Every structure is written in C-alpha cells, then in structure tokens.
C-alpha cells in the first residue's frame, strides 16, 4: 500500500511537470507573457493580431482599451495637433479615432483661417480632402493661387493654377496667359526655356508640346511628317487653339479619332476663341436674365499640306426671355458645346477619301 502511494505521487509529479512544460511552451501563453512583460498598446495589439482566438483575448482587449482611454484623455486635455496625431498613430483603430480626426480637422481649419495662407489651406486639404470645411478651403485656396498668379504674372504660377483647378471659371483665363506666353516663346525660338519654367506642371507642358508640331498649320504650312488624308476613315485629327496649342477638347474626342503620333495625324482642327456677347438684359423682381449670343469659329486643315478643307462659324443665340421665367434662370443662350463641334467634324473624319 505504501509502495502504491509512492508510485501515485511519482506519476502525479511527472504529469504536473509535463503540464507545466506544455504551458510554458504554448505559443498563446508565451505571446501573452511577452505582451504583459512589454506592457504597451502595441504589444497587446500584436497579441490580438497573432492570436485572435487566444485564451487571453479579453484581457488583451481590456488592456488596449485602458491605454486607449488614457491616451485619449491626455490628447483632449492638451487639445493640440501633436496629441491627436500621437493618439491616431498609437490607436489607428481606436474607439475615439473618428473623434480624434474631427478634432484635428478643427485645429487645422482654425490654423488655416488664422494664417490665411496658401500653405495652410493646402495643408488642411492634403490631410482632409473630404473634411467638413473642404469646400470652403478649396475656394479660399483657388482665390489665393489666382491672386498670386495675377500679382506675379509668372507663367509657372498660371500653369500651377490650371493644373490644380481645371474646372475653375478662371481656368480659361489662365490658359490664355499660358498660351500667349507660349506663342511668343515659339516665335522667338525660346520654347525650351519656357518648358523649363513649367517643370512643376507636367500636364500643362505635355499639352503645349503636343500642339507644337502642328502650330505652323495656322499659317497654311503643312507638316511633312504627318499622314495624307486618303482611304477609309477614321482620319486621326488633332484639335488646336487659334494660337497653335492643343485644345482642351482634344482628349474628349472619340478615341478612334485621336493619336499621339505626328506620323499618323491626317487632320488639324483649329478652334478660335469662344466669344459671348450680351444682346440684352431683362429685369425681374428676382435676378436679372441676360440674353447671350455665343460664337466659335472652326477651320479644318489637311495636316500634310496646310490646305483648308472646311470652315464653320458656330453660333447660339439665346431666346428672348418671357414675362415669367424660373427664379434660378440667369441667362439664355448656351455656349458652343464640344458635341456640336464633334457632330460637324464627324463627316470629315469618317468619310472615305479617294485620291
């Protein structure tokens, strides 16, 4: 009996040691012990990431929440950019993440309004492009960048503006400044210098360079490297402004009409300035209504010869407003649209030409 008791004690000891060894080498337990030893938010987050179904998940989450709560309280008490940034860096999926971003957004917006600089509004938009104050920030930034361009008169400032604010109502005026400088540089043989000034605005530079090869067609000169207009269509066309720069509608034409290669281009369409003339102003109890006449000239040229193939003067005349009109109406007479030009151009681009 005594011998059996000793044997039982011996076996129990061995089993206990084995269990202790197994516990010590269990990956989950080892990871948890390491996390506890480091006792940092990142350590507990690493444990949760590596052992999402581990034995100590609840304790790890509680530890993270404790650190989260403490860090959030410190950030709110300080109420500074660095504090919220630190909180967001340490707790990217923290319980107060959205609140931290909102508070940080408010601080950056207040900073932008107080300084009123291009840099401060740009910094706000870079971090919060869809923030609560993003619309107002873009409006302020647009006005400041335009004022800077007008004040300096520098081609790179106008280029920076049209690159950033493509849809602005000021964009056309910006392009006119760029186009005028480009035309002067082209005639004086100084284009490379101008392109060097535009290195910070690659989209603008590309648009200028693409029109450069065909600028001479405005003067009735063909481009020897171009392709003759013959055979079946479509005949690739390039759209230029009246100064020879690539027109903003060019890349909106059907893909089968366009090419980036000079050797494949067969037609050149030169579009003049879009002109708007106020024919009359009609007054109401609400906003006045202006009646416009809109004009746009187009000249189609054969690329290889510089020969004019067709001309078209587009014109839209606004209707005379009636005695009663919708309150939101402020004009009649629509600008000439790209689709109108495309419809007229289609027959020349797609027709078969026999020589």
Q: How far apart are CA 14 and CA 91, in angstroms?
A: 45
Per-residue confidence (pLDDT) for residue 22, from 0 to 100:
47
- What is the model's pTM? 0.66
Q: How far apart are CA 128 and CA 146, in angstroms?
A: 22
330 vs 78 pLDDT, higher one: 330
Q: Residue 286 — pLDDT band, cuts 50, 70, 90?
A: confident
Angle at 207 between CA 262 and CA 120, to 5 degrees: 160
| C-alpha separations of 195 from 191, 314, 347 in Å | 6, 33, 36
**In the 8-state DSSP scheme, what is residue 355?**
-
Residues recorded for the chain: 355
| C-alpha separations of 92 from 42, 65, 328 in Å | 11, 13, 46
**In the 8-state DSSP scheme, what is residue 353?**
B
Per-residue confidence (pLDDT) for residue 8, from 0 to 100:
52
Long-range CB pairs of 278-286 (<8 Å, 24+ gap) are: 279/317, 279/318, 279/333, 280/320, 282/320, 282/321, 284/325, 286/327
pLDDT in tens, 292-328: 999 999 999 999 999 999 999 999 999 999 999 998 9
pLDDT in tens, 8-42: 554 445 544 444 444 456 888 888 888 888 777 77
């Amino acid at each position: 009996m005594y011998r059996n008791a000793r044997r039982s004690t011996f076996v129990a000891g061995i089993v206990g040691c084995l269990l202790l060894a197994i516990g010590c080498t269990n990956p989950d337990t080892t990871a948890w012990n390491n996390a506890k030893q480091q006792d940092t938010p990142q350590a507990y987050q690493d444990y949760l990431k590596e052992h999402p179904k581990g034995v100590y998940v609840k304790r790890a989450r509680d530890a993270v929440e404790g650190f989260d709560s403490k860090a959030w309280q410190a950030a709110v008490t300080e109420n500074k950019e660095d504090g919220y940034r630190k909180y967001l860096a340490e707790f990217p999926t923290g319980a107060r993440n959205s609140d931290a971003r909102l508070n940080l957004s408010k601080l950056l917006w207040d900073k932008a309004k107080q300084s009123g600089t291009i840099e401060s509004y740009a910094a706000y938009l870079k971090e919060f492009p869809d923030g609560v104050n993003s619309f107002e920030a873009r409006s302020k930034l647009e006005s400041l960048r335009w004022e800077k361009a007008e004040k300096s008169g520098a081609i790179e400032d106008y280029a920076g503006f049209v690159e950033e604010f493509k849809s602005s109502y000021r964009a056309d005026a910006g392009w006119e400044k760029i186009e005028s400088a480009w035309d002067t540089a082209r005639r004086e043989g100084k284009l490379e210098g101008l392109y060097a000034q535009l290195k910070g605005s690659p989209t603008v530079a590309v648009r200028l360079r693409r029109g450069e090869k065909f600028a001479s067609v405005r003067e009735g000169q063909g481009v020897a490297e171009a392709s003759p207009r013959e055979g079946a269509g479509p005949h690739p066309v390039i759209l230029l402004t009246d100064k020879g720069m690539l027109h903003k509608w060019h890349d909106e034409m059907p893909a089968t009409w366009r090419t980036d290669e000079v050797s494949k281009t067969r037609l050149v369409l030169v579009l003049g300035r879009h002109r708007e003339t106020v024919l009359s102003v009609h007054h109401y109890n609400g906003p006045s209504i202006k009646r416009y006449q809109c004009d746009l000239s187009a000249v189609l040229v054969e690329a290889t010869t510089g020969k004019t193939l067709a001309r078209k003067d587009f014109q839209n005349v606004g209707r005379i407003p009636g005695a009663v009109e919708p309150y939101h109406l402020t004009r009649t007479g629509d600008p000439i649209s790209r689709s109108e030009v495309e419809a007229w151009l289609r027959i020349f681009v797609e027709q078969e030409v026999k020589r």
